[in-house]
Amino acid sequence: MYKLYPSLLLAFHACDQSVGEKVLSGKARLKPSRNDYDWLGHGIYFWENSPQRAAEWAEVQRRRGRIERPFLLGAVIALGRCFDLLEARSLSILRKHYHAVVRTYREAGLDAEIPRNKPLSGNEDLPLRELDCAVIEYLHHQMEEQYKKNGKVRPFDSVRGAFWEGQPLYPGAGFKQKNHIQICVRNPNCIKGYFRPLKTVRGRYQV
């Protein structure tokens, strides 16, 4: 959890073409997501090393009417001080903060209001991550408050997590069709630059 990530990685963001072109030209910046169901808390979301998965998500957003022209934006990112949920210590810390969130609600007599992760119709992946978002945001809030008091341990710049999503890749498989690693950037200084991803001759994106 306390490891710094000085090396750079490639990540990809799905958006409308009007937004992507402005970001590439330097006329705009990506805005952080602040939904109460965000999988890794609030911030700017990217797919790590998976341009094709990001492009598929852009198409899903088009079908939902949320964007008009799907666009893929590449980014060069340094995770900085990262809360990495692929690391055992981070998972332990997150579980501790979950219990703190539940205790806070119960002490206030709000047991029924404790956030829950929820499915969409016909979806078993629990895409509405209200509980996870609440726990991660609580963790960030606690860290920010402590940093204001003692200035010793600064808040996280980013959050990283792996997700097993979709249908089994084949009968009996332990892999799923939409497995991916997601990055949530809280500190925009982590983003070192943007680029326009290229497609291969078969029309798929290349890293």
**In this predicted model, what pLDDT tens digit does every residue of 89-124 receive, in sequence order?**
999 999 999 999 999 999 999 999 999 999 887 666
- How high is the pLDDT of residue 127? 87
* 126-134 average pLDDT score: 93
- How high is the pLDDT of residue 203? 65
The 10s digit of each residue's pLDDT in 48-89 is 999 999 999 999 999 999 999 999 999 999 999 999 999 999
Average pLDDT, the chain: 92
- Statement: residue 44 has pLDDT above 80: yes
Distance, CA of 42 to CA of 34 (rounded, Å): 5
Distance, CA of 6 to CA of 76 (rounded, Å): 12
Distance, CA of 45 to CA of 147 (rounded, Å): 25
- Statement: residue 1 has pLDDT above 50: no
Residue 34: strand, helix, or coil? coil
The angle formed by the CA atoms of residues 44, 30 and 61, to the nearest 5 degrees, is 75
The 10s digit of each residue's pLDDT in 136-175 is 999 999 999 999 999 888 999 999 999 998 889 999 999 9
Global pTM value: 0.91
Element (H, E) at 161: strand 158-163
